[in-house]
Structure 1
């Protein structure tokens, strides 16, 4: 059963590179321990969605088992669609170690969720991989450990079509996926689906809307704000179109909760937050920091930062986080109010997982409190 929120449309979901790595590792561990590779792995993702992932190219040689799982991005136009993710698994005395092999990038700049020098395998996929091999060990009655190397077919070439180099991830792709599920991102189909979901929620009698760009926003709204995700609609990068349709449909109040990596772009009037459409996160932080009197070295650090967390770290070093985030929040409030033009009350909460709430509108706390009472 699915426990995370998703679209109520007919677009086909896929599985992330993190889910591929977990399934490949589980299959390789089973091959290593039993001498037989499964034809497919039934994998429950962190989002609660269950996929059956076919296993390819199984081999056992000199104490190393290798299996591959092919990325299927569903109806999402993902550049990694179709590539195979390989897991090379060996026995160890205890514990589980995970490294990156050919085609998996390595982090060279601070500010990402993986430390500098390590393979670009995010914490969520690492947890998925470890849980998967422990499941195989439990089924085989094995109590030792594993050493796992994750590799990606043509990863270095595919990475050239991503933003990895800009983020400081060199030599290959990143193994990603907080939820384990790829949500479909076909623009026309997705915006149509968002409208249908807004219509559905409105038809159920709701007049106060919880709007989240993605899984990070949904998780924060549920875990940190205590809000009911059954009431929420996910708008992906299409913040402006979702707000327009919500106001057209007749929602009276809207709470937008999202990660600063997307929402901070609203301070520059950007309402399609996909990085391919517009970025400007560094420029927004640097501009407001300059207006707060930041020194040249702080502005340089902001422009070189690869994530919002790294930008906040630079602001903390200068003692400017509070005033800069307050300025950005005030500008976001103006931009959102201008977009809705009185058609609905709009509040927002902007956060990062590391630092929590960075900015929120003046009425956000009160609206959150009301929404909690509606659970």
Structure 2
């Protein structure tokens, strides 16, 4: 039996907002609402658990997350949306706010509601508004704060809750047994259309590289199946691959680890420490790096050294890591498929800023942006 797909968290937030707005307009019992997913282009019915009026100008609705056959920690978590009529001073027709359990960016304190979620909500709510009407939509994840402690959100500068992140409304069964085969099929289709592809482990990479202007048709989501998909790309005759990802994940490839799930292998701090030693970092500093809780903390320490001493440890260490990722990935493909594929690497940090590009990575990214 094929694994069952579900829907991403923004879809349930959108469904709750639609139900609350419809109730605000006309109190009614709602079992489900239709949501236009935009990505992909289809309309689906999402169950509504509860909907009620709070006062004459406000209503609230509740849905429950269903990510399908996926080991997703948001499974069955309630998703609330409170909709209120907007005030005169409100400039936009729909104002999106993050309530309890919606994460906030440390940099600017804005709610972690990303581009797809915003487009989804605005598109679906606009059709229920009359001209000149305005609404305030507050999204709430009652369990978001506690669930966020089990995610890597903090590594990307998101605190106090979960992100409404995603590039599609469909939640593919990423950790189900059929995942790799479905990813291979996607890779085959894209490999037949393009000589050069971009591999991204997760949604942060996919979202960021699209914002930079790379054609989404070239993007391949790999989850933690980097090794098998690199080999598959070689077998399919792909000429080049840009590995675009968070340094705390892709650093594993520099240590020869090609299945990146932490249950299989970790070694991130060991790998980072080894490359620091190779570049000549002092023993006390190596001990600090090795004892760092996360790769992001190790990067922070190197940046601190650079700021204090005018050194260039970040560039040297991560430059060496990126070049090694290229070399090891190319060798891995050749070993397992007898094919030669040009690999380039771009690593970004928790602020979703590009940290380093290998020589191949810079060249491939430039080609992709030029079209």
| Pair in the same fold by TM > 0.5 | yes
Unaligned runs of 5+ residues in structure 1 are 1-9, 107-112
- What is the alpha-carbon distance in structure 1 between the residues aligned to residue 125 and residue 287 of structure 2? 45
Task: Tell me the matched-pair count.
Answer: 349
Residues 19-38 of structure 1 aligned to structure 2 (within 5 Å): 19-36=11-28
Q: Aligned partners of 1:55 and 1:34: how far apart in 2?
A: 16
Matched, 1:363 2:360: yes
Alignment of 1:269-288 (within 5 A): 269-281=256-268, 284-288=271-275
How far 1:60 sits from its partner (Å)?
Answer: 0.9
| CA distance 1:119–1:368, shift in 2 (3 Å) | closer
Q: How do 1:1-375 residues align onto structure 2 when only pairs under 5 Å count?
A: 12-36=4-28, 39-45=31-37, 47-50=39-42, 51-63=44-56, 64-91=58-85, 93=87, 94-95=89-90, 96=95, 98-101=97-100, 104=101, 114-115=105-106, 121-124=112-115, 127=118, 131=122, 135=126, 139-141=129-131, 143-146=133-136, 148=138, 150-152=140-142, 162-163=150-151, 174-181=162-169, 182-201=171-190, 204=192, 207-224=195-212, 226-281=213-268, 284-289=271-276, 291-293=279-281, 296=285, 299=288, 303-304=292-293, 308=296, 312-319=299-306, 320-341=313-334, 343-352=339-348, 354=351, 356-368=353-365
Normalised by the length of structure 2, the TM-score is 0.73
The answer on whether the counterparts of 2:346 and 2:355 sit within 8 Å (CA) in structure 1 is: yes
Q: Deviation at 1:150?
A: 0.7
Alignment deviations for residues 10-55 of structure 1 (CA, whole Å, 9 cap, x no partner): 7543222232123212321332244346543333446454443222
Contact 1:247–1:344 (Cα < 8 Å) also in 2: yes
Q: Deviations over 1:293-315 (max 9, x none)?
A: 3774994699245x74x665554
RCO higher in 1 or 2 (8 Å CA, sep ≥ 6)?
A: 1
Q: Quickly say closer, same or farther: Cα 1:129–1:49, change in 2 above 3 A.
A: closer
Q: Measured at CA, do residues 35 and 47 of structure 1 come closer, stay the same or move farther in structure 2, by a change above 3 Å?
A: same
* Structure 2 unaligned residues grouped into runs of 5+: 307-312
Cα distance change, pair 70–328 in 1 and its aligned pair in 2 (3 A): same
Q: Which whole-Å CA distance do the structure 1 matches of 2:173 and 2:24 have between them?
A: 35
1:347 touches 1:362 (CA, 8 Å); kept in 2?
no
CA gap of 1:287–1:303, structure 2 versus 1, over 3 A, is farther
In 2 relative to 1, CA 133–150 (structure 1 residues): closer, same or farther, beyond 3 Å?
A: farther
- Match of 1:243, SS state, is helix
Conservation of the 8 A alpha-carbon contact between 1:26 and 1:132 = no
Aligned-partner Cα distance in 1 for 2:12–2:34:
11
> Which is worse superposed, 42-51 or 254-263?
42-51
Provide the alpha-carbon RMSD of the alignment: 4.2
CA distance in 2, matches of 1:18, 1:313: 32
